[in-house]
Structure 1
Amino acid sequence: SPPSSPLRHPRPPSASPSSSRIVKRRRVEASRTHSRPCIHNYQHLVQSILKVATSHYRCRVSTENPYPNNNDQVKWAAKAWLRACQDKGVDLEMEEEQSKLITARALQVHGELKTAACLLVVTHYGLRAGTDKKTINCTRKLVANLKKGLAFAFEDPATRYGMYQHPIIQQLINTMWFQDPHDKGLIYHRYFKRRIPLVTIALILTAVGCALDEWGSGSHHLIQFSETAYHTRYEDIFDAVDKFEKETRCYHIMDTICKELLVNAW
Structure 2
Amino acid sequence: MPSTAKGHTAPVVKPKGPTAIPSSTASNRMAKSSSTRKTPAKASLTVGQKRGHRAVSTDNESSDSGPSRKDKEARNARWNRNYAKMMADTREWLDEADGVVSQPENNVTVPNKIFGDDDDEEGELGDDGDDDDDEPEELRGMNGNVTLVSLSRATGPVPDTQSDDMLTNTRKAASAATTRLFTPYVRRVNPRDSSKPLLKLQSPTSRALLRRAFTLYTAEAIAKDPFAGDESRSALASSSFLAAADQLDYPRRHLRYINVPEYTEDIDRLLRQRDSQRRGQFSSTARSELRAHYPLGVSHGSSDVIAAWVKLALENNNFTFAELTLSADKKNVIKRRGPYRHPIFAEIIFRELFVSHDQAAISELTKHFYNPVPLEVIAFVATAVQCALHDWLEGAQAKTTTEFSADQWSATYDSHVKVLRQLQVAKPREVEAWCTSIYKNCWSSTSAAIVREEDPATAMKLSQEEMDDFDDVHSTV
Task: Report the TM range for the smaller structure's normalisation.
Answer: 0.7 to 0.9
Query: Cα distance, 1:104 vs. partner?
Result: 0.9
Among residues 170, 191, 199, which one is paired with 2:369 in the alignment?
191
Evaluate the alpha carbon distance shift between residue 143 and residue 27 of structure 1 in structure 2; reply closer, same or farther with a 3 A threshold. same
Q: Which residue of 2 aligns with 1:8?
A: none
CA contact (8 A) 2:323 2:338 kept: yes
Greater length-normalized contact order (CA 8 Å, ≥ 6 residues apart): 1
Q: Give the 3-state SS of the residue equivalent to 2:284 in structure 1.
A: helix
Q: Which residue of 1 aligns with 2:413?
A: 234
Q: Give the 3-state SS of the residue equivalent to 1:219 in structure 2.
A: coil
Q: Which residue of 1 aligns with 2:304?
A: 137
Q: Aligned letter for 1:213?
A: H
CA distance in 2, matches of 1:47, 1:107: 20
Correspondence list, 1:117-266, <5 A: 117-129=286-298, 135-158=302-325, 159-179=335-355, 183-187=359-363, 188-192=366-370, 194-221=371-398, 222-249=401-428, 252-266=429-443
Query: Cα distance, 1:182 vs. partner?
Result: 5.7
* Ranges in structure 2 where 5+ consecutive residues have no aligned partner: 1-98, 101-125, 135-182, 184-201, 258-262, 326-334, 444-477
User: 229-238 or 142-151, which moves further after superposition?
Assistant: 142-151
Q: Give the 3-state SS of the residue equivalent to 1:185 in structure 2.
A: coil
Among residues 272, 275, 278, which one is paired with 1:109 in the alignment?
278
Q: Aligned letter for 2:373?
A: I
Q: Aligned letter for 1:98?
A: I
CA contact (8 A) 1:129 1:220 kept: no
Q: Give the 3-state SS of the residue equivalent to 2:322 in structure 1.
A: coil
Evaluate the alpha carbon distance shift between residue 181 and residue 54 of structure 1 in structure 2; reply closer, same or farther with a 3 A threshold. closer
Among residues 267, 278, 287, which one is paired with 1:98 in the alignment?
267
Evaluate the alpha carbon distance shift between residue 199 and residue 31 of structure 1 in structure 2; reply closer, same or farther with a 3 A threshold. closer
* Ranges in structure 1 where 5+ consecutive residues have no aligned partner: 1-17, 20-24
Question: Deviation per CA, 1:62-93, whole angstroms, max 9, x where unpaired?
Answer: 01101121111111101000111222122113
CA distance in 2, matches of 1:31, 1:245: 55
Q: Which residue of 2 aligns with 1:77?
A: 237
Query: Cα distance, 1:191 vs. partner?
Result: 1.5
CA distance in 1, matches of 2:357, 2:302: 42
Q: Aligned letter for 1:216?
A: L
Query: Cα distance, 1:45 vs. partner?
Result: 2.1
Q: Give the 3-state SS of the residue equivalent to 1:156 in structure 2.
A: strand
TM-score, with normalisation over the residues of structure 2?
Answer: 0.45
Q: Give the 3-state SS of the residue equivalent to 1:103 in structure 2.
A: helix
CA distance in 2, matches of 1:184, 1:63: 10
Superposition RMSD on alpha carbons, in Å? Answer: 2.7
Q: Aligned letter for 1:70?
A: D
Query: Cα distance, 1:43 vs. partner?
Result: 2.5
Quick check: which one's helix share is greater?
1
Evaluate the alpha carbon distance shift between residue 107 and residue 129 of structure 1 in structure 2; reply closer, same or farther with a 3 A threshold. farther
Question: Deviation per CA, 1:223-266, whole angstroms, max 9, x where unpaired?
Answer: 111222111111111111111111223xx222111111111121
Q: Aligned letter for 1:207?
A: A
Among residues 128, 145, 151, which one is paired with 1:27 in the alignment?
128
Q: Which residue of 1 aligns with 2:111?
A: none
Query: Cα distance, 1:30 vs. partner?
Result: 3.4
Number of residue pairs aligned between Structure 1 and Structure 2: 232
CA contact (8 A) 1:53 1:81 kept: yes
Question: Deviation per CA, 1:183-225, whole angstroms, max 9, x where unpaired?
Answer: 1221111222x31001100000000001111111212222111
CA contact (8 A) 2:127 2:203 kept: no
Q: Which residue of 2 aligns with 1:56?
A: 216
Q: Give the 3-state SS of the residue equivalent to 1:47 in structure 2.
A: helix
Evaluate the alpha carbon distance shift between residue 85 and residue 137 of structure 1 in structure 2; reply closer, same or farther with a 3 A threshold. same
CA distance in 1, matches of 2:280, 2:243: 25
Evaluate the alpha carbon distance shift between residue 31 and residue 260 of structure 1 in structure 2; reply closer, same or farther with a 3 A threshold. closer
CA contact (8 A) 1:197 1:258 kept: yes
Q: Which residue of 2 aligns with 1:22?
A: none
Query: Cα distance, 1:28 vs. partner?
Result: 5.7
Q: Give the 3-state SS of the residue equivalent to 2:243 in structure 1.
A: helix
Q: Which residue of 2 aligns with 1:7?
A: none
Q: Give the 3-state SS of the residue equivalent to 2:336 in structure 1.
A: coil
Q: Which residue of 2 aligns with 1:44?
A: 204
TM-score, with normalisation over the residues of structure 1?
Answer: 0.79
Q: Which residue of 1 aligns with 2:45?
A: none
